[in-house]
Amino acid sequence: MKTVLGPDQRSFLAELRSYLDGLDPELVESTRAENIADPMQPREHGRRFLRQLAADGWLGVSWPTEYGGQGRTEIEHWLFAEELYSRRLPNGLLTLNVIGPTLMLTGTEEQKADYLPRIINGELVFAIGYSEPDAGSDLASLRTRAVRDGDEYVVNGQKLWTTGGHVATHYWLAARTGKQEDRHRGVSLFIVPMDAPGITVTPIVTQGGERTTSVYLDDVRIPASQRIGEENEGWAAIVCALNFERMFFHNEPRWELEQLADWAREQGLLEGESADAYALQERMGEHAVDVEICRLFALRGASMLADGKVPVAEASANKIWWGELRQRICNTGLDLIGEEGAIAHGSPYAPAHGHLEHGLQSSPVWRFGGGTNEIQLDMIANQGLGMPR
């Protein structure tokens, strides 16, 4: 069979590991703690960490050298993401992995020259503005309106679930420029600085402690030069970005399984011979198989990207597998622990370092974020099997 991971890839990984091992331990530990508490948005330490990686030339592994990247393949990029996820450190999230690559495919030369260098330097953090109070899965019904006024658009509306809205520098904003009944054919995509006049961000705190935001747009003026793609043709870029997004779910289930293994080791169950030990070993054995499958769904997507193809149904399968597995590990892991599992994270007595309980509370978004799993299943039926819509 074709060798996907050859000596070059392995030496790349060794080099990356040696680089990460050599970073300032204070930076790494504070970044990790911040990232575990709320991984969806790099804050004080995460920003510091990403700027350090950028300064050392480690952001944009698969970005072309003309945009300041290392010019390696998507396989190395996948290895990079897996390794950072394995250490629970941020890897540039949506800004580097979704917005950047989408801009490369759909942006104008001016837009690329303006944004890509600042993304790869770790300067910019994007938040994504798709969902609205009445436009969730049915994104094509969005109502935030952008009206052309000379060289500018004037935007009014409300966005919901803008994760990272309070730490972002820029907003990747979908707005209606055509008629409501034109649905996805009347949507345009814009970039606007988060501190533009007329933008108000209000926090939403979720059960797991992660923050997201509502964003209100009140006569926000965006230069027409900041529109991505043609007017009313923003949907293609949104679809492209979502496919990239669904490929960036990686190694966290392995990390969560290791938290459970730590607990089982302390309890003498990891290699015990009791009925409880056997029950745990059976459960963990199946999770461990599913973790390996998770690795391979992500690797398949990376291989397709490396071959110049965009995974669609494959990206959906990756996202479904990853989210359901993580949730299953957290949920059934707590079942194995029993009543002590009810001790909340933050307490030194919380079993498995509190990560399973925290993970379970965070887990609903894994199944609906980036497009609900039900919509992903429909995409597999359409794109993967050719079912009629």
Partner 1 sequence: MTAFTLSEEETQVQATARAFLRDFVDNTYLNEQEESPTGFEASRWGRMRDLGWSSVHLPARVGGADGTLVDAALITRECGRAAYASPLLQTLRSATVLDAIAADKTYDDVLAGIVGGAIATLVAPPDRTVMAESVADGFALSGPPVVVEWLAQAEWVVLVLPTVERGWLGAVVTADSFGERAVDVPSIDNERMVRLDLDGMVLPSEAVRTTDLSAEDAAYALARADLLRASAMVGGAQDVVERSATYALERHQFGQPLGKFQAVRHHLARMVIAADGAQLLCDDALNRALPGAQETAVARAALFAAGRSYMDVVLTAAQVHGGVGTTVEHVLHHHFRRAKAMQLRSGRRSSRLRELHQGLVVRREAVEGSLW
Residues making contact with partner 1 (CB under 8 A): 1-5, 13, 79, 82, 86, 251, 254, 257, 261, 270-271, 278, 281-286, 288-289, 291-293, 295-297, 299-300, 303-304, 307, 309, 311, 313-314, 317, 320-321, 374, 376-378, 380-381, 384-389
Report the alpha-carbon distance of residue 238 to residue 190 in Å, rounded: 11
**Between residues 201 and 280, which has the closer beta carbon with respect to partner 1?**
280
**Between residues 176 and 283, which has the closer beta carbon with respect to partner 1?**
283
The three-state secondary structure class of 220 is strand
Contacts of residue 114, defined as CB under 8 A and 6 or more positions apart, other chains included, come to none
**Between residues 16 and 240, which has the closer beta carbon with respect to partner 1?**
16
User: C-beta of 366: minimal distance to partner 1 in Å?
Assistant: 16
User: C-beta of 231: minimal distance to partner 1 in Å?
Assistant: 33
Cβ–Cβ under 8 Å, residues 4 and 303: yes
Report the alpha-carbon distance of residue 102 to residue 100 in Å, rounded: 5
Cβ–Cβ under 8 Å, residues 72 and 9: no
- Catalytic choice (74, 245, 256, 357): 245
Tokens of 242: 């979502």
User: C-beta of 249: minimal distance to partner 1 in Å?
Assistant: 14
Tokens of 88: 């629970």
**Between residues 37 and 288, which has the closer beta carbon with respect to partner 1?**
288
Span between the terminal Cα atoms of the chain, in Å: 36
User: C-beta of 278: minimal distance to partner 1 in Å?
Assistant: 7
Strand 170-176 and strand 211-223: pairing? unpaired
User: C-beta of 166: minimal distance to partner 1 in Å?
Assistant: 33
Report the alpha-carbon distance of residue 37 to residue 247 in Å, rounded: 22
Report the alpha-carbon distance of residue 164 to residue 38 in Å, rounded: 10
Task: Residue 84: name the closest of 120, 36, 130 by CA.
Answer: 36
Helix (H) or strand (E) holding 179: none
What is each CA distance from 5 to 63, 84, 299, 314, 386, in whole angstroms?
19, 18, 10, 19, 31
User: C-beta of 84: minimal distance to partner 1 in Å?
Assistant: 12
**Between residues 210 and 252, which has the closer beta carbon with respect to partner 1?**
252
**Between residues 114 and 378, which has the closer beta carbon with respect to partner 1?**
378
Q: 245 an active-site residue?
A: yes
List residues with catalytic annotation. Answer: 245
